[in-house]
Amino acid sequence: MPLVQYSDSESSSSDSPQPDRIHSKSQTSQGIKRKHSPTSHSVLPSLPDSFHDLYASTARVSNQDDPSLHAGRQRVTPHVQGNWPTHVYVDDAQSLQEHQVHSLLKSELGVELPLHISLSRPIVLLAHQRQPFIDSLTRAINKTGLSPFEVAVGGLEWVANYEKTRWFLVLKLERPPQNGLNKLLHLSNQTVTDFGQPPLYTDSLQSSTDGRSRKRQAGNGSRSKGITGAAASSSMTRSGPSTDIDMSSSFHISIGWTLGAPTHGLRERVDATGIDFQAIKVDINTVKAKIGNSITAISLATKIDTSRRMF
């Protein structure tokens, strides 16, 4: 192969090559050199909600109820082959992450579970009920025309579940201006009741109603017999609490849990956080229904094409 001849000027300059002369790897096919600022840093876009939905469920490791496989937790609703566990909720991972609110709830794979506000109990559906349930819930939400809204966090508390099998560290929520959470709860309760499942928060409402009724009975004597049933029926509908009943004190976001009641030390640490919870806002713009590992997102004030069947 013949040697390539260079002039003296070229050979001398090659001894100390200039950085801007070496740019063959940064050229495009048209020979245009790309210039990159040494101080510029690319900002990664935030992940879409659909990505977080991929990890909203824990890993299925057994078809039997074995608390040892779930850190000692016991199922509120026993697993039955052929039943599909279902949950209706709202979440807003992005706004909570902006306030550096992190979930202490993790799956068996070590992945943080999404922070959410429950609109239903853990219920079960049969296989043929899955799509009709989604269709019914979607129609109910679209019919109201409820627009996206914002919810403020009111504080941090320890609360127990109804069965007293677990205690949760929760962010308590305040009542939004347009009463959006109560409206969504009513729609969810109506839908799950139509499918033969128990509504959410009716037990606490029934207990408080019975307590007030017993006090009235004690004060009025025998004239108040039978008032308990009447009071309960006036405050309840076939689908749970009516829309004029304020259940705002029941709404919360769980961020951690323990099998036993929290110790005095844990309660003191929670009370001494000194966090300005009023600055934490949660944007509610989507209702989600999780059936098995499949999640359907229903946007508020947006028409959803229910002709696209999932099951």
Digit-by-digit pLDDT tens for the chain (311 residues) are: 555 555 554 544 445 555 554 444 444 445 555 555 555 556 677 666 666 566 555 555 555 555 555 545 555 666 677 899 999 999 876 666 565 666 666 666 666 677 899 999 999 999 999 999 999 999 999 999 899 999 999 999 999 887 788 899 999 999 998 899 999 999 999 999 999 999 999 876 555 544 444 444 444 443 333 333 333 344 445 545 555 688 999 999 998 888 889 999 989 988 888 788 888 889 999 999 999 989 999 999 755 445 455 56
Catalytic residue among 52, 87, 116, 186: 116
Which H helix or E strand runs over 238?
none
Catalytic residue among 52, 87, 186, 252: 252
Tokens 């690319």 sit on residue:
42
Helix, coil or strand: residue 9: helix
Q: Where are the chain's structural domains?
A: 49-201+247-306, 203-244
Token pair in block for residue 69? 């496989």
Question: Is residue 116 among the annotated active site residues?
Answer: yes
CB 108 within 8 A of CB 172: no
CATH placement of domain 49-201+247-306 = 3.90.1140.10
3-state helix, strand, coil in the chain (%, to 5): 35, 20, 45
Token pair in block for residue 10? 């070229």
What sign results for the dihedral spanned by CA atoms 276, 278, 279, 284? positive
Question: Is residue 252 among the annotated active site residues?
Answer: yes
Which H helix or E strand runs over 134?
helix 130-144
For residues 165 and 232, give the distance between their C-alpha atoms in angstroms, rounded to a whole number: 27
